[in-house]
Amino acid sequence: MMYATIVLNWISQLSIPGVGACVLVLFVVIFLLYAVLHSHKQSMELRKNNLYLQELISSCKQKLVKIDELEKLIPELQKIARLDHDVNTPLCVITMSLGRAKKLGQQSGDELLLNNVKDITDAVARIGEIMQAVRVLKTHPLVVQNKAHTSTKEIGQ
């Protein structure tokens, strides 16, 4: 407003009749154009910010849906994490029996039995490798954190 007062004082001091009024009108038009342009710029910025916020909200909603889906998986992951013990115990029995079968095959010279023992031993080793990968779940923060919420009775269900 201070600038407007200065300009108006300058215009009023012009000595040529009619020029002061023309300059005043020109000044008012320029001022109004500036005000409209400034208002339009602010409006565009608000629209841009609004669109950004809508996209952000949409993205957050999608992520929340995914989180809900993952949280539903936690009990199943806990069951899988406990499977290593449930599978390794029978594998130990099989491994001990294979040791006896191998010894028997060597004593009797039964190549067919020794080949079968080798095939079964390879399969047991592969199952052991698979169960080693499952063991990673036991230390995963989601499974460990939520372990208290799942009972061991749920394994068989």
pLDDT tens for residues 8-52?
666 566 555 666 667 667 777 888 888 888 888 999 999 999 999
Supply the pLDDT for residue 156: 46
pLDDT tens for residues 117-128?
999 999 999 998
Q: For 105, which DSSP code?
A: H
Could you give the maximum distance between any two Cα atoms of the chain, in Å?
132
In terms of average pLDDT, the best of 81-85, 124-128, 141-145 is 124-128
pTM for this predicted structure: 0.48
